[in-house]
Structure 1
Amino acid sequence: MEKRFISLIRFRVAKAQYLNMGLKFKKLLISFFSVFIILASFGLGNYFGKSQCKVCPPEEIDFSLFWEAYHNLQEKFVDKEKLDIQKMIYGAISGMVKSLEDPYTVFLKPEESKRFIEDVTGTFEGVGMEIGIRKGQLQVIAPLEGTPAQRVGLRAGDKILEINGTSTVDMIVEEAVNLIRGPKDTEVTLTILREGWEKPKEFKIVRDIVEVPSLKWEVKRPASGYPDIAYIKLYQFSEKASFDFSKAAIEIMESPCKKIILDLRNNPGGYLEVAQDISGWFLERGEIVVIEDFGGKKEQKIYKAQGPSQFLDYPIVILINAGSASGSEILAGALRDNRGILLIGEKSFGKGSVQELEKLKEGSSLKITVARWLTPKGELIADKGLEPDIEVEMTEEDYEAGRDPQLDKAIEVIKNL
């Protein structure tokens, strides 16, 4: 009896333990299934959320600091009427872009974006100069030929301290352009500091319709016994410059001129394709004009001369200065690296980067530096510029007296080539 009783107790205990285990297993299974459902729902929600958002926030970046600052401003800033959400978003994007410390990578608000596109594709009214930022300072790259900026005496390298009394400190180029541009016959005041000046001066400029020629050429006749020289002044690499250069080239070949001075001073650049076309007159077909380097993100792109190589046997020298930028530096670098052509004058500006315009929401856009130019021998142009082989400075006295010692030197050198 005792054994049977003990066995019955053991059986009941075992049965109870078994039932209890079953209950626990059911609870565990239900819990596991619930967790699975929650995780699956989260995963599917995350997946579908990602598939539906146009630009998803990066998961690896913690934006909590940004939102913490935003909420504190919303809760505590004293002037509630100044809390313009759209302006705050634009300001945050601009700050992010400025942290890259690249003056050519900029965020453009809708009105700035619209004006930038108009400048690239159409005519405009203003003072007629190319401006840029160098070492953090807004300055004149080049006053354009026959424009109000040139007529009042602005020069390459002039530092622009104020525009109508507004400081240019931390001002992006596009913002400065918006302030300088304006309707014909209206006035803008620029506060300028030039190298060698003890204090800045104000220039009052009356705006006009800006129409810049692409080039001019003339015959220079040195002393007796020397052949005539074709002097070509390229003002910019505009859309029509290729046609104008072809026309001038034919005239030069039909003239007695057998030597060429190519003047790229105060030429701020323009279309790459035009610089490539003009290079083709001086280089053998297939020679490298410039290399587009993407910083290792993708393979370099090489631009080559396409001919017609008609000036291949002409002795040439090139004039450059601080106003020679972008396309001018590409052309000068190509001729120097391929043919050993001498550069005379002053160091060029150093605008050797490529920008793309990315359109964003609500009409805004982002101008991004995507590549840098290298000369055929791999020399970086950006922020360095091209050093002249023969350095000749233009002094204040030269400008006032109408002298051109750089051109005089070019004539002296090419006479003996």
Structure 2
Amino acid sequence: MGTVRSTRQTTAFRALATAICLTTLPGLTAAQEQAPDQDVILEGTANGQQVQIRLPDPEEQLPLEDLRKFTEVFGRIKEAYVEEVDDRQLLESAIKGMLADLDPHSTYLAPKEYEELEESTSGEFGGLGIEVGMEDGFIKVITPIDDTPAQKAGVQAGDLIIKLGDQPVKGLSLEEAVNLMRGKPGTTLSLTIMRETENAPIEIDVVRDVIKVTSIKSRLLEPGYGYVRITQFQSETGNEFRDAIRSLADDSDGQLDGLVIDVRNNPGGVLQAAVGAADALLDEGLIVYTEGRIQSSRLRFSATPGDIIADTPIVVLINGGSASASEILAGALQDHHRAVVMGTQSFGKGSVQTVIPLDETHAIKMTTARYFTPDGRSIQARGITPDIEVRPARFTEFEGQPFFTEADLSGHLENGDGEDELNSEQRKQQDQNSDANESHMERDFQLRSALNLLKGMTIFQNKQDDGDN
């Protein structure tokens, strides 16, 4: 009896699947029988209009044997699995599997995931505050987001999460892992992490919170030298970026001598926001283009006239946590020779994901194209190579005795041009003031290197201008 019942269910499902595959538009009927080497033509009406559809060669469609295999598995699960499985659950699992097997970024979005995606692009969502992906069955941290519980707890880009609480990550889907990381604000989740610099797994306790991401942070490093940190590209980032630069220029008597754009550990975000930020600093030319199989995935974005800080030297800081939209901005400014890119190789996430709604509560996020820089460089799995490689370093100054100078000698010859003299005590006071400024910069070696490069570029440019005059 069991065999008969299973056969009936499988046969019925096969018939249903075949009917679904052959249904196209209401009212369509097959034309007269075609020769085996010709395409099949369907004719009929749709929305009151006569239509004709040419179907490709059946041999180029999904092989019937594979379709039979799918329906056979479906029927056997329905009949013999240890617990009863709902048809909808099975079909959703099949959809998830199809997308998950394509690449790490394609996924099926059920109502909760769809809602969370919308929250993340608006800049406020609940969780730990880390951008993650899959690697060898484990969760890899692409980057912790600025000022979030994960960053404050010490989670770093490149960390491999092997356990979430007591739950091993191996075998979980990315969606399942993300769901475990989300939770009620104020609750604690213990992350077991493998890190390249550690010989054994380490545990980090992270307290969940409502994540509010501030996209743009800015300040003056020194008079005339601005710093803009982009933590994540959100829908309004482009406009906020322009406002931040104008504000820094106003604070510097209307003109910046140099600008540092920091996109380290920026996981990306909205494509148009990266385009808007690049457009603010370019007068013309291509910013980024995408290539995919369908026409709608082949896009080109170009700059509009108007560089808001024309001729101001720019340094862009990147690292292994700079991904997607961050790489678009850095690549565009690099190809147009508008900025010097400094730091370490970026992440290499150069693919475009399109969210395709299936209904009001379900959607699929599917990779539909690749990003290319203006010079035609593919970002995917390669990233942006910095013009100047500067690795993170712990900066420690040598604590030595101040030098004895000419100004300390009794009866020394005076300067002669009216300039103030500097003895050892005055030099020591200058060094202390300099140390206070370095503390403000948090002794960030890469940022310090960027500032020094900008100063050098400004000095060189001023010397050239003086020579021309």
Q: 1:126 to 1:71 in 2, by over 3 A?
A: closer
Residue 265 in structure 1 maps to residue 264 in structure 2: yes
Over aligned residue pairs, what C-alpha RMSD do you find? 3.1
C-alpha distance in structure 2 between counterparts of 1:59 and 1:126, whole Å: 41
Pick one of 229, 240, 253 that aligns with 1:244: 240
Count the aligned residue pairs.
361
Residue 163 in structure 1 maps to residue 159 in structure 2: no
Specify the code of the residue in structure 2 equivalent to 1:367. Answer: K
- Decide which structure has the larger Cα Rg and report it: 1
Determine helix, strand or coil for the equivalent of 1:339: coil
C-alpha distance in structure 1 between counterparts of 2:160 and 2:21, whole Å: 53
* Shift in Å, 1:151: 0.9
- CA displacement, residues 172-209 of structure 1 (integer Å, 9 cap, x when unaligned): 43332221111211122221112221112111111112
Q: 1:88 to 1:249 in 2, by over 3 A?
A: same
Determine helix, strand or coil for the equivalent of 2:141: strand
Residue 213 in structure 1 maps to residue 214 in structure 2: yes
C-alpha distance in structure 1 between counterparts of 2:358 and 2:275, whole Å: 31
Determine helix, strand or coil for the equivalent of 2:331: helix
C-alpha distance in structure 2 between counterparts of 1:296 and 1:126, whole Å: 35
Aligned to 1:322: 320
* Identity across the alignment (%): 35
- CA displacement, residues 90-113 of structure 1 (integer Å, 9 cap, x when unaligned): 22222222332x111112334433
Matches within 5 A, 1:27-42: none
Aligned to 2:290: 292
- CA displacement, residues 266-318 of structure 1 (integer Å, 9 cap, x when unaligned): 12222222222221221113x11111111476683210112431223011111
C-alpha distance in structure 2 between counterparts of 1:46 and 1:152, whole Å: 52
Q: 1:99 to 1:214 in 2, by over 3 A?
A: closer
Q: 1:72 to 1:397 in 2, by over 3 A?
A: farther
Aligned to 2:95: 93
Pick one of 384, 409, 412 that aligns with 2:449: 409
Residue 65 in structure 1 maps to residue 69 in structure 2: yes
C-alpha distance in structure 2 between counterparts of 1:200 and 1:207, whole Å: 21
Unaligned segments of structure 2, at least 5 residues: 1-18, 29-54, 397-438, 458-469
C-alpha distance in structure 1 between counterparts of 2:265 and 2:276, whole Å: 20
Check conservation: 2:394, 2:445, Cα contact below 8 A: no
Aligned to 1:186: 187
TM-score by structure 2 length? Answer: 0.69
* Shift in Å, 1:237: 1.8
C-alpha distance in structure 2 between counterparts of 1:46 and 1:248, whole Å: 54
Check conservation: 2:264, 2:319, Cα contact below 8 A: yes
After TM superposition, the structure 1 stretch with the greater mean CA deviation from structure 2, 122-131 or 148-157, is 122-131
Check conservation: 2:393, 2:445, Cα contact below 8 A: no
C-alpha distance in structure 1 between counterparts of 2:204 and 2:27, whole Å: 51
C-alpha distance in structure 1 between counterparts of 2:194 and 2:96, whole Å: 28
Check conservation: 1:281, 1:312, Cα contact below 8 A: no
Aligned to 2:40: none
Provide runs of 4+ in structure 1 moved above 6 Å: 45-48
Check conservation: 2:122, 2:234, Cα contact below 8 A: no
